[in-house]
Amino acid sequence: MTDDPDAFDADALRREYDPESRARALQSLLIDEGMLSTDTIDQIVATYEDEIGPLNGARVVARAWTEDAFRERLLDDGTAAIEELDIDVDTETMEIQVAENDETTHNLVVCTLCSCYPWAVLGLPPTWYKTPEYRSRAVKDPRGLLRDDFGLDLDGGVDIEVWDSTSELRYMVLPQRPPGTEGLDEAELVEHVTRNAMIGVDRLSDGSAASDGGAATVDDSDALNVDRPTFEAPWQARSFALAVALTDDRPWETFQRRLVDEIDRDESRPYYEQWLSALERFVLGEGLLDRSTVVDRIAEFAAGDRTAHEFVEGDPHGHSEHEHDHAH
């Protein structure tokens, strides 16, 4: 029988238990049920942190700068053109559309619902992209947002087009090729593309190379704290990977609806706390786990009766000593 996820008191759990115990409990139970493995979770985290990232997007941009025919295909059908570069786009989940900057138009990408983002080409969204401040002001006052939080003061003659991503359609920006790069080849041009330019909060204005192709280059911001890491704690990476793994054979929207509900419930909460609560409601709503089992397992991790060692295959210290006394 499926638990009613709306009857699940996630707020009470949040007050009583730390998020690390809650995320560990979900992973532990899902492994016990044979729904996923530790290796799967570790691989997802490693893939999104190390392999899928803005460097892919930088390759797309550099190719568009050097091949007019590719640029035309990219603007006509972004997903198909991106896949020409052997970049895997999950077309069952999303399509990618590319908006081109020019002298009189600047494009800005946002997701006002939650954090929809073209992962295949830009990796994981930066922390500031998911904040209520960015999501709101990008629509209401994009010019002020760019000026105040990203140091991008656009001329009044430049129009700003805002593209609101959805779960089905994600956007990226094709920035203008900066002056001073005319003699560079495609590989060299990759080093001049920034992640933020492909989101639209940066506008490449000269030929100086980025610190690494596809990296953020703006200075720190008090309002959006643009230099914060994507994952600030292991439980955040774990929660992210669990949602990705569980929606591999389920529509992403089944999780996204829960996430949107959590964001609407309290926009002031940190993003990954909202994500974890949405994940808890998701596993209950889908009937993957039952409420009492989840709560009991969280309590075990919080009390130290179970530890993260159990996620290491063959580790004999997965449970506390007194638990081994009666485990079998």
Supply the residues annotated as catalytic: 111, 114-116
CA-based end-to-end distance of the chain? 28
* C-alpha distances out from residue 112 to 78, 117, 133, 224, 294, Å: 22, 11, 10, 16, 31
Cα torsion angle, 246, 287, 276, 315, sign:
negative
Q: Read out DSSP for 23-34?
A: HHHHHHHHHHTT
Q: Is there a contact between 239 and 276 (Cβ–Cβ < 8 Å)?
A: yes
Helices (H), the chain: 10-16, 19-32, 38-46, 54-66, 68-76, 78-83, 119-122, 132-140, 142-150, 186-190, 195-199, 234-246, 252-265, 271-285, 291-303, 321-324
Cα torsion angle, 88, 50, 108, 272, sign:
positive
